[in-house]
Structure 1
Amino acid sequence: MSDCEAIIYGSGAWGRKAYWAYLYRYDVICYVDRNPRRWGTRLNGLEIRPPEVFTQHSEAVVILAIDNAAGIEEYIWSLGITKIERYCYDAAESLEPAMIYGTGTIAREVMRTCQKRFRVCFFVDAADRPGEFFEGRRIITPQKMQEYPDACLIVPDADAGSLKSIRETFPGDILLHDCGRGIRPALSRMEDHHPCVFVDVTMSRQKKQGEGVARVADRLWGELSKFGTDMIPVWDMHGTLVTDFAYAGREREEMQVVFQKGDTLLLLDPSVGAYCRDFQQILKEAKRSGTRILAVVHDFIPNDFPELFSETICKIFFRWHDLVLSEADGILCDSKHTVKKAREYLAEHQIRREAPLTYDTIPLGGDMSLSSMKTKIRSLLKSFMMELPVFLVVGTIEPRKGHRTVLQAWELLRRTTSSARLLFLGHDGWLNLEIKEAMELHQRKDFLWIKDADDAELAFAYQHATGLIEASVDEGYGLPLVEAASFGLPVICSDIEVFHEVMGGEAIYVPVNQPQKLANAMKKVLLEGKEKQPVLKHVPTWQDAGRKLLHVLRGTAKPITNEC
């Protein structure tokens, strides 16, 4: 291990992975994150600290483990720190971190056979051997491995008798290794079962509710789970699907999935494309067994507007959609607009298929279950919403969503009236430095950006806003539009095809990237009052979406077409 100290900036998914990539290059001493809620907590055995720690370690290497590093790098340079490296995580190419149980001939063989798939970081030995190394890796005790739940533990079959005690010590994923069968989960195999619908929740189980498409996947799973125990949530454990009965609130032993003829595999969350390498094998196994494969597809926007996304997002998008459109039996889209885009993608990328692809649409629900929302509304949001009219914008801060246009329109509006406020609810996204710089110019009492609003606060904003603005360049559906409509909130939105499909004539349409015309629409709502604006009367519900999805899974729904 190097004597050179390193600090990892970012404690999200990339930060977790960066630790393992740099473990034996530098002496990684801590994480740094801007979020005060994370300060003092630990990740991979290291404390997460505020940015002020940089001034105490000016000679350390700073590893930027975030997707959007623009601006951050300049800030670190301003502190006099010159040794900066960017970590770019690519799940399709990176190795998964792992520990091997034991030291000796068998452990050495395990490392040799799994090093193309895993990044072996530690060996585990019951004897306390501080400072010792085996095969160039540090030896740690079983008690120490608790600090690294993100790394899987590979146990040789010869030590399988110790699994019970190992499980009591280690909370992460445990894999078994034998020379004949390779690496597999340390779970029983789910064989000779009745036909099941295996619903992939790989991404949903590791994301906070409310983040992007995981929120949609959560709601769809919530509806599916009402229809019987043959709906089984599963997730990717290092290339093998295993059950996640705990995710469904069922007390059952978790098992390794073995596909059988008559089963269905539903890929509910497209962002699982981050695990594309694993799913290439999983989908092949499903097809060999005669399992039907269905995949939810929300949009094809990175194909039409690649300049609006980071290189990493585009790479994952293309790998995943090329795989799904070649291997799945059918895709489920939010809108007919997305179905059209899917056909165009198939032709443009010349994707070969063994059989025609089927298409179905599952319009997403706009209803929000207020009875289940017990989170308190922060006082800052309450006071902001109560005094003056507020225009609401919902969505991740990224170029496609049109936040810059909204800010420009709001400035034009304020030249004629000072009575309107602007509220952004959305996570910090990508390629958004210019947008955030523009937002900083508006950091006053009439503008507010909340990055971490939950469903309760989102519903509160819908209830008390004057109007919703969705100025997107393109969308696959437009969930905030129907959510707003469920609260009787007028919608001002881009004049794009999919919004007309979702809202019909019950919205105020403005051309894309036209701040003046957007300002005129906002002024119209203020002058006439929101009660006189068009509002969508028939809002689709999540129950509707769940029932339609069930019909597709049962084979009783008529697909749009069987032609590619």
Structure 2
Amino acid sequence: MGSGPRLSGANHGQTIMRSKDQPASAGADDTYHAYQIENLLSELSYTQRLADSLAGKVCNRPDVQFLGRHIQQFYWTVTRLVGLGRLHDGSASKPPKRPLLKPPVRPVLERTDIVPASGPRILIDVTLTYRNDNGTGIQRVAREIAQASIAHPGVFPVIIENGQLVSYFRHSTLPDVIQIEPGDRLLLLDAGWFLLDEYLPVVQDVARRGGANVCCVHDLIPLLYPGTVSGSSTRIFRSWLDAILPHCEAVVAISRSVAEDFINYASEHALPRNPALRVGWFHLGADFKTEASGPVSSQVRAICTGTPFFLTVGTLEPRKNHAIALKAFDLLWAAGIDVRYVIVGKMGWIVQALRHRIIQHPEFGRRLFWLQSAGDDDLSFLYRHAAALIQPSIAEGFGLPIVEAAHAGTRVIASNIRVFCEIGGDAVSYFDPMDAGALAALVKEALTNPRPASPVPALSWKDATERLLRLIKDGSYPLAV
């Protein structure tokens, strides 16, 4: 189970590799392939229904029109699910599309306790968050660590502008342009793989000037689970690793599970890399706004009143596995159990059938809710009033909603993938991510026992940032490839 192959012999300072005779985490692979098949069938069934409804309107031969459309959609769906979308989406012959950029307005830092650097510095890259902050996922991590890190002497969040490193914050004591000095370390914290042509010269310059680069790996989902990502993401991400890793002294992952996934993948797929590359990990923080400081929407207040509800947080995308949770609630509603299910997350990719299933569901707006634009105050309120958080993912790098819910004192029910077991320990109730009946049973249990016996361990962002910086400063990376 989990986000990638399980390793053995994880001793401090050792190179960790799976024996050639050891199976490659068959349970995780079986779960992933089963999910691919189920999602494919769902998407094809939806496509067929849609084609059936349109065929009679587009030509005089609906059978021919439907057949051609169905074959084309089948080809598109299958190739995307197995990571070959480039065969038809044009990405193989086009440069990757860059994210939309915001007007460059660096935030002003309103602090008076900034201590000037003395000696080597740690520079934390937040370029994509600065340009296009979606407020979720990696951008949320980058923003929180940037805010927490500035209190540490010699630590500066930076961005790339015109081929130079520039201070992310504006402050009278901070230089605008950062000149690399021997001993400096650049932490590639943000999702820079979409901007490789900008990052590579900077990374090379850091190494050339006697500095060092540290690459943060949030997950290896585009490589290990290509059927769950869109377009050319797999190719872009692999190109990033191929180009950047040879110039890095270390990799830091956001969980031990991801660190082990990286070691296995780098070894088995011969990733180009610095032969002395070390690997470490840290855990993310969660001092999310557990006390709402702003107005909570009337819709969220209504959801939190009366009938108990369960919450899932995350973009609607294949690996989040919302479909199995909805199936579990269908079982509960059919059994006459009065409970609500709330999904918080934006619309993602390869889930048209699931989207249709949600918005056409007879319980939609009654006991089934999908909030695509909930702000921090709404989400905080939902965490604190939910009977439990449900995270049914088949693959994750960490699982930030689990620690956010834990920080709010909310029970957690999660799929038994490896990284969730790492984060939640014995405090989480686990289920097989393909077993809707098992999830339904845990929901029924939570209705009668609304709080866990022990909370999920949760770091603050301050603590998480301190651990990350200590790891980089000390160079105490415990693993090697």
Q: Same fold (TM over 0.5)?
A: yes
Matched residue, 1:18: none
Q: 1:386 aligns with which of 305, 315, 318?
A: 305
SS in 2 for 1:482: helix
Aligned-partner Cα distance in 1 for 2:230–2:98 = 23
Structure 1 position 481, deviation (Å): 1.1
Q: How far, CA to CA, are the matches of 2:290 and 2:359 in structure 1? A: 33
Against the structure 1 CA distance between its residues 457 and 535, is the aligned structure 2 distance closer, same or farther, given a 3 Å change threshold? farther
Structure 1 residues 326-475: aligned runs within 5 Å: 326-370=246-290, 374-442=293-361, 443-475=364-396
Asked whether 1:202 is paired with 2:127, we answer: yes
| Superposition deviation, residue 252 in structure 1 | 6.5
TM-superposed CA distance for 1:150, in Å, is 6.2
Deviation at 1:390, TM superposition (A): 0.4
Give the number of the structure whose alpha-carbon radius of gyration is greater.
Answer: 1
> Match for 1:319: what amino acid?
S
Once the 2 structures are TM-superposed, how far is the Cα of residue 379 of structure 1 from its aligned partner?
A: 0.7
Distance in 2, matches of 1:172 and 1:203, equals 11
1-structure distance, mates of 2:355, 2:266:
36
Task: State the distance in 2 between where 1:336 and 1:350 align.
Answer: 21
SS of residue in 1 equivalent to 2:95? coil
2-structure distance, mates of 1:76, 1:277: 44
Deviations 1:449-490 (A, max 9, x none): 111222222111110000111111011111111111122211
Distance 2:369 2:398 in 1: 26
Counterpart in the other structure of 1:481: 402
User: What's the offset of the Cα at 1:344?
Assistant: 1.1
Aligned to 1:17: none
Counting aligned pairs with the same residue, the percent is: 27
Partner of 1:558 in structure 2?
476
Does the CA contact (< 8 Å) of 1:92 and 1:277 recur in 2?
no
Does the C-alpha gap of structure 1 residues 193 and 312 become closer, same or farther in structure 2, counting only changes over 3 Å? farther
User: 1:34-433 alignment to 2 at 5 Å?
Assistant: 93=95, 195-208=120-133, 210-228=135-153, 230-246=154-170, 250-251=171-172, 255-269=176-190, 271-370=191-290, 374-433=293-352
Cα-Cα RMSD = 3.2
Task: Name 2:418's counterpart in structure 1.
Answer: 497
Equivalent residues of 2:242, 2:272 under 8 A apart: no
State TM-score, norm by structure 2: 0.74
Aligned partner letter, 1:513: M
For this pair of structures, how many residues does the alignment match?
391
* 8 Å CA contact 1:92, 1:276 repeated in 2: no
**Which of 1 and 2 has higher RCO (CA within 8 Å, sep 6+)?**
2
The answer to which structure has the higher helix fraction is 2
What is the CA deviation profile of residues 264-318 of structure 1, one whole-angstrom value per residue up to 9, with x for unaligned ones? 111111x221101221211111111111111221111221110111122222221
Counterpart Cα distance in 2 of 1:400 and 1:435: 12
Counterparts in 2 of 1:478 and 1:150: CA distance versus 1, 3 Å? closer
Q: Which runs of 5+ in 1 are unaligned?
A: 1-69, 81-85, 98-148, 152-170, 174-191
CA distance in 2, matches of 1:94, 1:424: 31
Deviations 1:500-535 (A, max 9, x none): 111111111111211111111111212x2313x344
Does the Cα contact within 8 Å between 1:298 and 1:476 map onto a contact in 2?
yes
TM-score, length basis structure 1 = 0.63
Is residue 397–residue 403 contact of structure 1 (8 Å, CA) maintained in 2? yes
Deviation at 1:423, TM superposition (A): 0.4
Residues of 1 paired with 2:92 and 2:135: CA distance?
24
1-structure distance, mates of 2:379, 2:57:
38
- CA shift, 1:88, in A, is 7.0
The structure in which a higher percent of residues are strand is 1
1:288–1:352: structure 2 CA closer, same or farther, 3 Å change rule?
same
State the 1:90 CA deviation: 9.5
Post-superposition offset of 1:233: 2.4
In 2 relative to 1, CA 415–281 (structure 1 residues): closer, same or farther, beyond 3 Å? same
Give distance in 1, aligned partners of 2:143 and 2:104: 23
